[in-house]
Structure 1
Amino acid sequence: MLEQLTGHEDPYPIYERLRAHGPLTRDGGMWVTTSHSLANKVLRDRRFGVRFADGSYPANSGLLPESFLELDPPDHTRLRRLAMPAFSPKKIDEYRARVEKVADALLTEDEFDLIADFAAPLPISVISDLLGIPDADTAEFADYGALVAQSFDTGVTAAMADANDQVLALFDRLISERRKTPGDDVISSLVAAEAEQKLTAAEMLGTLVLLLVAGFETTVNLIGNGTRALLDHPSQWKLFKANPELASAVVEETLRWAPPVHLTSRIAHEQVDRIGKDEMITLLLGAANRDPDVYPEAHKFDVMRVHKPEHLAFSSGIHYCLGATLARMEGEVAFRALARRMPDLRQTGPVTFRDSVVIRGMRSFPVSRS
């Protein structure tokens, strides 16, 4: 049934058919869960990992360099710890004023594409600043990052392979520059860690590409999906415009109701109940976030909802999204800016969706300020 998800604008009916088979079911020879409690339990259970029990990895496109996203402890723990300081709450607060300025600067046209002209440029500006990408390289960096990210949707094309090479060349150049002249950015901190033999050059590249893609992907789809949800629910849009302090609530309900990432997988390192050693379980995060056993009226978009327990849009356990605090802040700023600057925002044409099972978002979303 999971193969039916490709190309589907609305995967939720498929999730519900799977849910009818119980919290844990077989689909195409693979274990699948739509249950919030079971998915959360697996994500937190150290008997599961992202690799097989012998340390091998199930698949790799060969495009993106390996990062700590594809590693189990202790390597995952070591590399994640090196990247964490850049995403501390204190650091994120320091970026808020810059994000607000960028958001306002982007909202100048009467008619525009919400994805290409707002939702995408905003996070790429922030992640470029965080990584220490020079202004002269930011536009190319954004184009390359978007192409590399598309490999998740359609597989690797020649253009994507070239984009990957260009991103790696840019990082190689910046790493070389930071070795000579360190700055106050993530690349400089990782270069210092490499000098102290806390990570290898390859691990540094993998970490930087991961931060680029993750810092871009989650936020652009959060902003796009949330704006569409608000415009499709006029009473919720009206409520938010009258109460802009609800921005964080809009972010959380968007992450639950229309999360950017819809599924992830884990591999059992030993027999766990019915799941055998080295068997994979697919965790349908999009379905878990609408689990009726956890959320009353789960299919209703309600910014006043009480989120207990927390949704799984950012995963859970040791692989909980490193950039969650940053994505939340960017989403809050973006939604407030739209409500303040464009209270009469409306959709002006059909949206186009990304052709992806894992990443759920739009390629284009034409809108007008009135």
Structure 2
Amino acid sequence: MGQPGLTTQAKLAGTFVKDLYVAKAKTQYAARVQHGPLAQAIVWPGKLNPYPFYDRVRDMAPILPLPREAKVHVASGHAVCRQVLKSHDFGVGGRTIVGKDAFEFSMSLLEMDPPEHTRLRRVAAPAFAASRLGGYATAIEKIVHERLDDVEPGATFDLIDQLAAPLPIRIISELLGVPDVDERRFLRWGTALGSALEGPHGLWHAKKILDAKTGLDAMFERIVQQRRADPRDDMISMLVAEEGAAVRSEEILPLCVLLLVAGFETTVNLIGNAVLALMRNPEQWQLLVKDPTLAARVVEETLRYDPPIQFTDRIAQRDSVIEGYEVPAGHRVLCLLAAANRDPARFERPNFFDITRTDIDHLAFSGGVHYCVGAPLARLEAQIALRVLAERMPKLHPGGPPRRRSSVTIRGLRSLPVTEAH
């Protein structure tokens, strides 16, 4: 029997907690029981520098099975993670983020393997093609200049609030076809949904995610109806044009939500992490100031050195062997992308932030069929933002202590005070 007095929304939130929390809880429990270094990074998300813990995990073995009951293996070596991400023996099938009773939380492409994944990706990918994004370069640069124009000379400002967050929100809104975007509301909703990737922290968090999803669904539903009657040159119109063919009607809203979250979550954290690394390594900042064309290198080095997405997971679709380790069918492999990106077996001086590095074989955008579809847009936005920032504010330096987001999966900043004042 259902609990009396609960609203439908609260019941859905309860279902969401149950479905989304299981895998996270198993991994946490197993790591704590084992007293391994991974447990410390999980217990204090955002409070500690996770990279020493990643080093300790990787030193134990490139792939490390947790206690048998968890059915989880932690991969931290670059070669191991790359093999898992690219292998057809591993997929996302069976790791469903939510149960079928809470479909409104579905993140679409994130839960699909081929051929369904291939079908939807073919529809979404053209919006992020280099040929299409080239037309956004001017708009991106204009927004960056506008945001920096609003900063008083010598003032201390929050780089996240002033630049890193508004930029991708405005661009992804334009790409999707969202008119008159409320940046604050978009940021709140998108951040809430992004936090769903690692599980809720309780009923209050689940309801916060549910409220965000409900608000976004209502907004996108209105726009979809408008585009059915009056199509335009935007992503939502492209999805509507494929409705009934490559895209089922019930897939449009989840795909819109996924594209929104993916379109800004990575970029805001990429820009923030890049500027923080540059501020903590002033000699690297000076290299960028002297040669702003190094912005592309800064982006790639940041993706390697301090990636926005710290890990992802895959499920063994059949009994597999990875680097000599047996992974039974149905077992989860947690790929520590951030650990793989600092694997000394793959990179020289992996713990040094070096924007002149030419070896950029990182795994920040995952790999295989689930390689991030929005990677070209994130790169373009971050490159332009960093170049313009270096050109306009060459004396930029820290203006106060940064605040990290409290998250295990997503590594980013709540705030990053910076200034040009002496």
Q: CA offsets per residue over residues 133-162 of structure 1, 9 Å max, x none?
A: 002555533432233223346723433321
User: Would the aligned equivalents of 2:107 and 2:257 in 1 still touch at CA under 8 Å?
Assistant: no
Q: Which residue of 2 aligns with 1:79?
A: 120
Letter of the aligned partner of 2:127 in structure 1?
A
SS at match of 1:162: helix
Residues 1:327 and 2:378 are matched in the alignment:
yes
Alpha-carbon offset, residue 197 of structure 1: 2.6
Q: 1:201 aligns with which of 235, 249, 256?
A: 249
Q: Distance in 2 between matches of 1:113 and 1:331?
A: 17
Residues 1:120 and 2:165 are matched in the alignment:
yes
Q: Distance in 2 between matches of 1:152 and 1:41?
A: 23
Letter of the aligned partner of 1:165 in structure 2?
T
Q: CA offsets per residue over residues 105-149 of structure 1, 9 Å max, x none?
A: 011313211111110000001000000000255553343223322
Alpha-carbon offset, residue 60 of structure 1: 1.8
Alpha-carbon offset, residue 65 of structure 1: 2.6
Alpha-carbon offset, residue 68 of structure 1: 1.1
Q: Distance in 1 between matches of 2:295 and 2:181?
A: 33
User: Would the aligned equivalents of 1:51 and 1:267 in 2 still touch at CA under 8 Å?
Assistant: yes
User: Would the aligned equivalents of 1:44 and 1:316 in 2 still touch at CA under 8 Å?
Assistant: yes
Q: 1:93 aligns with which of 123, 134, 142?
A: 134
Letter of the aligned partner of 2:388 in structure 1?
A
Residues 1:161 and 2:203 are matched in the alignment:
no
Q: Which residue of 2 aligns with 1:134?
A: 179
SS at match of 1:135: coil
User: Would the aligned equivalents of 2:190 and 2:265 in 1 still touch at CA under 8 Å?
Assistant: no
Q: Which residue of 2 aligns with 1:181?
A: 230
The TM-score, its normalising length taken from structure 2, stands at 0.83
Larger Rg: 2
Q: Distance in 1 between matches of 2:400 and 2:270?
A: 20
Alpha-carbon offset, residue 169 of structure 1: 0.1
User: Would the aligned equivalents of 2:96 and 2:111 in 1 still touch at CA under 8 Å?
Assistant: no
The TM-score, its normalising length taken from structure 1, stands at 0.94
Q: Which residue of 1 aligns with 2:73?
A: 31
User: Would the aligned equivalents of 2:97 and 2:111 in 1 still touch at CA under 8 Å?
Assistant: no
Q: Which residue of 2 aligns with 1:347?
A: 398
Question: Relative to structure 1, is the Cα distance of residues 357 and 138 closer, same or farther in structure 2, using a 3 angstrom cutoff?
Answer: closer
Q: Which residue of 1 aligns with 2:330?
A: 278
SS at match of 1:31: strand
Residues 1:16 and 2:55 are matched in the alignment:
yes
Question: Relative to structure 1, is the Cα distance of residues 249 and 368 closer, same or farther in structure 2, using a 3 angstrom cutoff?
Answer: same
SS at match of 1:340: helix
Q: Distance in 2 between matches of 1:140 and 1:22?
A: 44
Q: Distance in 1 between matches of 2:364 and 2:275?
A: 17
SS at match of 1:20: helix
SS at match of 1:184: coil
Question: Relative to structure 1, is the Cα distance of residues 42 and 154 closer, same or farther in structure 2, using a 3 angstrom cutoff?
Answer: closer
Q: Distance in 2 between matches of 1:141 and 1:171?
A: 12
SS at match of 1:281: strand
Letter of the aligned partner of 1:46 in structure 2?
H
Residues 1:5 and 2:41 are matched in the alignment:
yes
User: Would the aligned equivalents of 2:173 and 2:181 in 1 still touch at CA under 8 Å?
Assistant: no
Q: Which residue of 1 aligns with 2:156?
A: 111
Question: Relative to structure 1, is the Cα distance of residues 368 and 65 closer, same or farther in structure 2, using a 3 angstrom cutoff?
Answer: same
Question: Relative to structure 1, is the Cα distance of residues 153 and 346 closer, same or farther in structure 2, using a 3 angstrom cutoff?
Answer: farther
Letter of the aligned partner of 1:323 in structure 2?
G
Question: Relative to structure 1, is the Cα distance of residues 68 and 227 closer, same or farther in structure 2, using a 3 angstrom cutoff?
Answer: same
What are the ranges of 5 or more consecutive residues in structure 2 without an aligned counterpart? 1-35
Q: Distance in 1 between matches of 2:77 and 2:91?
A: 19
User: Would the aligned equivalents of 1:87 and 1:323 in 2 still touch at CA under 8 Å?
Assistant: yes
What are the ranges of 5 or more consecutive residues in structure 1 without an aligned counterpart? none
User: Would the aligned equivalents of 1:153 and 1:357 in 2 still touch at CA under 8 Å?
Assistant: yes
Q: Which residue of 1 aligns with 2:413?
A: 362
Q: 2:108 aligns with which of 41, 51, 67?
A: 67
User: Would the aligned equivalents of 1:119 and 1:221 in 2 still touch at CA under 8 Å?
Assistant: yes
Question: Relative to structure 1, is the Cα distance of residues 153 and 39 closer, same or farther in structure 2, using a 3 angstrom cutoff?
Answer: closer
User: Would the aligned equivalents of 2:168 and 2:381 in 1 still touch at CA under 8 Å?
Assistant: yes
Residues 1:144 and 2:182 are matched in the alignment:
no
> Across the two proteins, how many residue pairs are aligned to each other?
364
Q: Cα RMSD over matched residues?
A: 1.6
Q: Which residue of 2 aligns with 1:226?
A: 274
Q: CA offsets per residue over residues 82-107 of structure 1, 9 Å max, x none?
A: 00110010111110000000001011
Alpha-carbon offset, residue 33 of structure 1: 1.1
User: Would the aligned equivalents of 1:64 and 1:209 in 2 still touch at CA under 8 Å?
Assistant: no
Letter of the aligned partner of 1:84 in structure 2?
A
Letter of the aligned partner of 1:163 in structure 2?
A
SS at match of 1:144: helix
SS at match of 2:88: coil
